Amino acid sequence: MSFEFVDKIMASPDAPKQVDALLEAMKDEKKRRHDFREWITPAVKAEFINGEVILHSPVKKRHFEVTDLLSSLLSFYVSLRKLGRIATGRAMIALTRNDYEPDLVFFNKEKYDTFTDDQMLFPTPDFVVEILSKKTASIDRGIKKQDYAAHGIAEYWIIDPIKQNIEQYVLLSKSTHYAPPKTYGLADEIESHVIKGFVIPVQAIFDEAVNVEVMQELTKRG
């Protein structure tokens, strides 16, 4: 982590004023984050990102179809192997500064078993999936990717439902940055680095018939 900005502030004659202004801004942001958590309801999909409330519009058909097809495979596999739990759409994860509602997350069993029935804010997941839309693409590839890596989320998939591909980001060893992504298309298979043994053809999350075939194969494997 670079602290060049600290050196820059300390070299300024008005360093105390800059620090006071930053502390005041963070105090105000903390209050707005508290207000956001009090305001948010299950009927609203929104996130708190760098001090701003980001409201999301209703998803398109291709978005929820991809979510359903991927979550059905992941949920079945994770449940079968007793690896933890998959949550989709409305599980709010609370990171150091921001609150997100990713399209899909995976918590390993050890972490998931610590959650209470009434819990509404969740810690850093082990694996995250975001499905692109025109409105969210810059956030998914920008602040979210940076924040997920900084908080040690070991694997991050960005799915493009129009191009029908998956960008797979894997955390570098002992780092807070992802390795350059690998992109998988309809002709490829993708294997998770976090959910051990989970290997599927990319087409299975875009084609229901293929999805059913993969589900049957997973059932046979046990």
pLDDT of res. 34? 96
pLDDT digits (tens, 9 = 90+) for 82-125: 999 999 878 999 999 999 999 999 999 999 999 999 999 999 99
Average of per-residue pLDDT values in the chain: 93
Q: Whose CA is closest to 201, among 182, 78, 210, 209? A: 210
At residue 2 the predicted structure's pLDDT band, cuts being 50, 70 and 90, is low
Whole-number Å distance between alpha carbons of 198 and 36: 36
Return the ∠ at Cα 45 (arms to 39 and 46), rounded to 5°: 65
What percent of the chain is modeled with pLDDT above 90?
77
Residues 17-26 have pLDDT tens digits of 888 888 898 8
Residue 1 has pLDDT above 50, yes or no: no
* Residue 46 CB coordination number (10 Å): 16
Percent above pLDDT 70 for the chain: 98
Tokens of 182: 């690998």
Q: Is the pLDDT of residue 200 over 90?
A: yes
Specify the pLDDT at position 28: 92
**pLDDT tier for residue 14 given thresholds of 50, 70 and 90:** confident
